[in-house]
A and B are shown apart, each in its own frame.
Chain A
Amino acid sequence: MISEIKKEILSRIDKELVLNKLASGRRIDGRGLFDFRRINIVPALIEKAEGSAFVSLGKTKVLAGVKVSLAHPFLDTPNQGIFVVNTEFTPVAAPTYELGPPSEFAIEVARVVDRAIRGSEMIKLEDLVVVPGELVWMINIDIYALDDDGNLIDASLISAVAALSVGFLPKVEIIDETRAKYEIIKDEKRPIPLQDMPVSFTFAKIRDHLILDPLYIEENMMSGRLTIAINTKGELCSVQKGEGGGFKLEDILLAKDVSLKKANEIRNIILEQLAKKPRGEEAWNEIRG
């Protein structure tokens, strides 16, 4: 579906430029085949969110926000909290995105991000229970694409884990357990209970070349897309192949090796960026560009 919506008509000159660079082991922005673009994170900049992060990956920009609320747990998991990942790829981000319900691509990204977080058990869902079987925290993670210069999948996961990392839960005072009467104390809060930090690596296949962290123009030329997420233990925690084209077994093994090799490096960059103190109004300078 994305191939239908997202593909723009590229000029032959642009295509040839990309291919010529790839033939010499380089990318049009000067990167090597398996180089990640620069990651910049502005944590906790949205006042009304319980957690938020603005992430730029090169010129790709996304903004994730966490909102928490109390809900009834699902019947089959009475002792677990709930989290929902939602992506909004609105027309702000690219001329080919349309209004209306999320596209197949946006839903695919949300599900890949969800699986990486769920698979790595990043959020301690048991610690989100307020009254077992009755009342649990529901964490909504909404990811807005602001500018698409390729690889929204990895940018989205980075923004989600960053927003969760600075996220908090207000204190709940139970007034009447049987009738689920409670009071939320906003001023007393604790961090969202976390125990892992997944990072993902998205590869594109263009002709015979396998590249990491594709640009918008490269995505328009790719035949296949492969995402591998790695948890803190160094295990694979979510995989997704996308688009029409196929991958050879060697490609997949190579992508796995590259992902495993880079996981700690990228995770450390995220942690470093998260350590930046939120700077109020100053933080918005990053969005202003």
Chain B
Amino acid sequence: MAKLVKNGVMLLDEKGLRNDGRRWDELRPIKMTTGVLERADGSAIVETGGTKVLAAVYGPREVYPKHLAVPDKAIFRVAYRMASFSVEDRKKPQPSRREIELSKVIKEAIEPAIFLEQFPRTVIDAYVLVLQADGGTRVASINAVSLALADAGIPMKGLVSAIAVGRLGNQVIVDLNDVEDKYGDSDMPIAMIPITGEITLFQMDGTMNPEIFEKCLEAAKQAISEIYKMQREVLRRKYLSIKEQVLKGDVNDIGDKKGDTKQNR
């Protein structure tokens, strides 16, 4: 395995390990928690290594401004924002062009999973706040919003799961961190609805030859199935704890139940 150093940063060592010691297909430690907020209808925190995102969901609720309402289905809106202190240089609070684009692609990644036609003339709003950014915030946001929607009890075809894959030299890598995002050769965030097999987010920057491109897709599919398993586990635990509570005859504060899971590889 060849060493890869770029701009003085060791991206791959002689053993083929990455700058944070991971193997090429190894995910960072992931932690997912639902029901973290009191006021929101559904919420989740997803932590992927140093990346920490918080998602809140409201709705279905009345649409403001009213002219945006659609007669035969709900509209779905997403706002992705980064906390000013989530990055190295303070980010000004006004939304940047990047935040607006990401809000749009996150919305479009999740929209196909929601049964919007069940709630005509309403809106489902999702807000994402990046508390700390360390690469992969858009895919963490998709995983978080998808969980927050489920936490809010909004009917969906399936959960949406996402991962970023990319390339360092000839090496395919999975779950890029900040350094790999900056100095790597290519970055490809992907989201899927695993239950239907649909790919709902697909972007790439940098360059890839067709062979690596195919390998990336295969690696992404693998990683997504792991993320999906974790998301299901979080929700399963939430409903299990509700079931236990109901069986004990205690029906207070059922909505406050949390689900969480932790994965360390």
- Chain A residues with Cβ below 8 Å from B79 are 91, 99
Which of A140-148, A219-227, A267-275 lies at the interface?
A: A140-148
| A241 is an interface residue with CB less than 8 A from chain B | no
CB pair B83–A144 under 8 Å, yes or no, is yes
Chief secondary structure at chain B's binding surface: loop
- Complex Cα distance, B40 from A288, in Å, reads 14
How many chain B residues touch the partner (CB < 8 A)?
Answer: 38
Task: Knowing A91-B79, A142-B83, A147-B37 are in contact, say whether A63-B61 is a contact too (CB < 8 A).
Answer: no
Which of B11-19, B49-57, B105-113, B159-167 lies at the interface?
A: B49-57
- Complex Cα distance, B238 from A154, in Å, reads 33
Whole-angstrom distance between the Cβ of A192 and the nearest chain B Cβ: 14
Partner of A90, one of B52, B81, B87: B81
| A254 is an interface residue with CB less than 8 A from chain B | no
- Complex Cα distance, B52 from A284, in Å, reads 10
Of chain A, the residue at the smallest CB distance from B33 is A288
Interface residue tally on A, bucketed by range: 35 or more
CB pair A284–B47 under 8 Å, yes or no, is yes
- Chain A residues with Cβ below 8 Å from B93 are 86, 88, 102, 142
Whole-angstrom distance between the Cβ of B7 and the nearest chain A Cβ: 17
CB pair B129–A289 under 8 Å, yes or no, is no
| B85 is an interface residue with CB less than 8 A from chain A | yes
| B138 is an interface residue with CB less than 8 A from chain A | no
| B125 is an interface residue with CB less than 8 A from chain A | yes
- Chain A residues with Cβ below 8 Å from B86 are 46, 48, 65
- Complex Cα distance, B87 from A244, in Å, reads 40
Of chain A, the residue at the smallest CB distance from B94 is A101
| A200 is an interface residue with CB less than 8 A from chain B | no
Chain A 134-167 residues near chain B, CB threshold 8 A: 140, 142, 144, 146-149
Whole-angstrom distance between the Cβ of A10 and the nearest chain B Cβ: 15
A residues adjacent to B (C-beta < 8 A) = 46-49, 52, 59, 61, 63, 65-67, 69, 86, 88, 90-95, 99, 101-102, 140, 142, 144, 146-149, 216, 284, 287-289
A59, A94, A216 interface centre (most CB from chain B within 10 Å): A94
Whole-angstrom distance between the Cβ of B63 and the nearest chain A Cβ: 13
- Chain B residues with Cβ below 8 Å from A289 are 33, 35-36, 258
| B38 is an interface residue with CB less than 8 A from chain A | yes
CB pair A91–B56 under 8 Å, yes or no, is yes
Whole-angstrom distance between the Cβ of B8 and the nearest chain A Cβ: 16
Task: Knowing A95-B61, A142-B93 are in contact, say whether A147-B85 is a contact too (CB < 8 A).
Answer: no
CB pair B40–A92 under 8 Å, yes or no, is yes
